[in-house]
């Protein structure tokens, strides 16, 4: 079936279990497990339509109670090939594409493709949902979306705005970070930065490296420095650059932490920089990386 934007569903595997938030906890990193149906909010998921036919899945535990950009969503933890709950940040590992699996079922494929295609898999009752390679013949990768009535909706599709950060037209967490940076630069009388996708790629790769290998720093696990990562991402004409990193999930908390650090604050407000990128990765408390260059 094709979901409707803002509608609430139960995700029931063809094996009989449903996608359940462990202990009904909304703490970042909470595992998503297969469980017997019980009708609780921990087993309800709000589908929000995103670009290119993809979907963001918000847990029913935060629906209608959290502000924009604070929703807790189904996330692909690529550090251990499992599904968990993380605050929305808009990266590919939180976006899902639905593929027809026949007989009213779908398969949920992560938009994160590094490391190969991965599908949401019910490994068994009481076990964390896995993210495994395509297995079209497996009932564990076939899901039925069972529509439920959300409070105050009377079973009709939701009309609420999508629960992502809204700094501007794009609304991604990276754009929110850019907006926060430029707000601070405006206060200091410094020209705004513009977003550079190549810098964001470099920042994203470093965030993933830090989260996967559980460290915080500017030297990569392979010994690389930030300017090495900038060049590998295609940044050209580089004569000045800098990088900030923060071990948190929330974008505003990361920005606040960096502004309170004298060295990081200097990078944010430095007038010689004109381009900016940012990236986030979950795992081990989360990692935000900011990247700056001329």
* 159 part of a folded domain: no
- DSSP track, 149-201: PPTTTTTSPP-SPPSS--SSSS--HHHHHHHHHHHHHHHTT-PPPEE-HHHHH
Interatomic CA distance for residues 215 and 220, integer angstroms = 9
Closest CA to 180 of 77, 265, 84, 59: 265
Both 181 and 236 in one domain: the answer is yes
Interatomic CA distance for residues 178 and 277, integer angstroms = 8
Helix/strand/coil for 292: strand
Show the tokens assigned to 210. 């830090």
* 163 part of a folded domain: no
How high is the pLDDT of residue 65? 66
Both 131 and 180 in one domain: the answer is no
* 117 part of a folded domain: yes
Q: Taking the mean position of all CA atoms in its chain, how far away is CA 76? A: 8
For 89-121, the pLDDT digits (tens) are 878 899 999 999 988 999 999 999 887 899 999
How high is the pLDDT of residue 238? 67
* 156 part of a folded domain: no
Question: Which domain-ending residue is among 147, 181, 209?
Answer: 147
* 257 part of a folded domain: yes
CATH of the domain at 240: 3.40.33.10
For tokens 């009904």, what's the residue? 24
* 204 part of a folded domain: yes
* 1 part of a folded domain: no
Interatomic CA distance for residues 107 and 88, integer angstroms = 22
Domain count, the chain: 2
Phi, psi for 214 (deg, rounded to 5): 55, 60
Both 228 and 138 in one domain: the answer is no
Range 192-197 average pLDDT: 90
Both 240 and 125 in one domain: the answer is no
How high is the pLDDT of residue 106? 94
- Which domain range does residue 267 map to? 173-293
Higher-confidence residue of 12 and 5: namely 12
How high is the pLDDT of residue 164? 35
Interatomic CA distance for residues 33 and 14, integer angstroms = 15
| Radius of gyration (C-alpha) of the chain in whole angstroms | 20
User: Does 154 score more than 50 pLDDT?
Assistant: no
CATH of the domain at 120: 2.80.10.50
Which helix (H) or strand (E) segment holds residue 41: the answer is: none
């Amino acid at each position: 079936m094709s979901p409707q934007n803002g509608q609430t569903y139960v995700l029931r595997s063809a094996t009989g279990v449903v996608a359940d938030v462990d202990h009904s906890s909304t703490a970042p990193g909470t595992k998503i497990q297969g469980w017997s149906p019980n009708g609780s909010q921990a087993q309800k998921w709000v589908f929000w339509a995103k670009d290119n036919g993809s979907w963001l899945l918000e847990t029913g535990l935060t629906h209608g109670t959290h502000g924009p950009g604070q929703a807790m969503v189904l996330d692909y933890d690529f550090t251990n090939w499992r599904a968990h709950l993380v605050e929305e940040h808009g990266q590919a590992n939180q976006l899902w594409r639905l593929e027809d699996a026949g007989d009213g079922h779908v398969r949920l494929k992560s938009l994160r493709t590094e490391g190969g295609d991965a599908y949401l898999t019910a490994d068994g009752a009481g076990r964390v949902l896995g993210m495994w390679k395509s297995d079209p013949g497996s009932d564990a990768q076939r899901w039925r979306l069972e529509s439920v009535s959300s409070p105050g909706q009377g079973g009709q599709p939701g009309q609420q705005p999508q629960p992502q950060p809204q700094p501007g037209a794009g609304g991604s967490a990276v754009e929110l970070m850019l907006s926060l940076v430029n707000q601070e630069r405006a206060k200091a009388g410094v020209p705004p930065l513009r977003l550079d996708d190549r810098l964001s790629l470099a920042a994203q790769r470093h965030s993933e490296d830090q989260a996967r290998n559980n460290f915080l720093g500017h030297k990569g696990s392979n010994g690389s420095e930030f300017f090495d990562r900038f060049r590998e991402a295609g940044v050209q004409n580089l004569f000045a650059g800098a990088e900030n990193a923060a071990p948190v999930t929330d974008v505003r908390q990361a920005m606040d932490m960096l502004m309170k650090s004298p060295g990081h604050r200097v990078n944010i407000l430095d007038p010689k920089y004109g381009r900016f990128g940012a990236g986030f990765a979950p795992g081990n408390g989360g990692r935000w990386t900011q990247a700056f260059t001329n």
